[in-house]
């Protein structure tokens, strides 16, 4: 495979940074919400609130750092945005909100 055939990761750091900051945080919130409601012990488990609170920045910064591996800022916005829409819709559907 020649270098022309490979897709190069574009250095669009501003778009990728904004996608990771905004959509990555929203994705971290919904992933923790799924764990909080449907994880061991449900929402009323003892000390689960504290654990969830500390897991949000760890998950967010992990998602944020992997945002730079997308080929372009557009791809980062589309994939992270699509994942947010799907997971928030699923959460609302399971909670009876839709």
Give me the tens of pLDDT residue by residue for the chain, a chain 98 residues long: 555 556 777 778 999 999 999 999 999 999 999 999 998 888 888 888 899 999 999 999 999 999 999 999 999 999 999 999 999 999 999 988 66
- pLDDT at residue 51, as a whole number: 92
Q: What pTM was computed for the model?
A: 0.85
Give the residue among 98, 94, 97 at the shortest CA–CA distance from 42: 94
Q: Identify whether the C-beta of residue 81 lies closer than 8 Å to the C-beta of residue 20.
A: no
Q: Give per-residue pLDDT as tens, 66-85.
A: 999 999 999 999 999 999 99
DSSP 11: -
């Amino acid at each position: 495979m020649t270098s022309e055939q490979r897709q190069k990761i574009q250095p669009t750091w501003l778009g990728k940074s904004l996608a990771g900051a905004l959509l990555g945080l929203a994705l971290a919130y919904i992933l923790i919400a799924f764990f909080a409601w449907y994880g061991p012990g449900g929402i009323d488990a003892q000390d689960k609130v504290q654990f969830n609170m500390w897991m949000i920045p760890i998950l967010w910064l992990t998602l944020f750092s992997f945002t730079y591996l997308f080929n372009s800022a557009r791809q980062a916005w589309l994939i992270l945005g699509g994942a947010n829409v799907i997971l928030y819709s699923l959460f609302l559907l399971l909670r009876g909100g839709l």
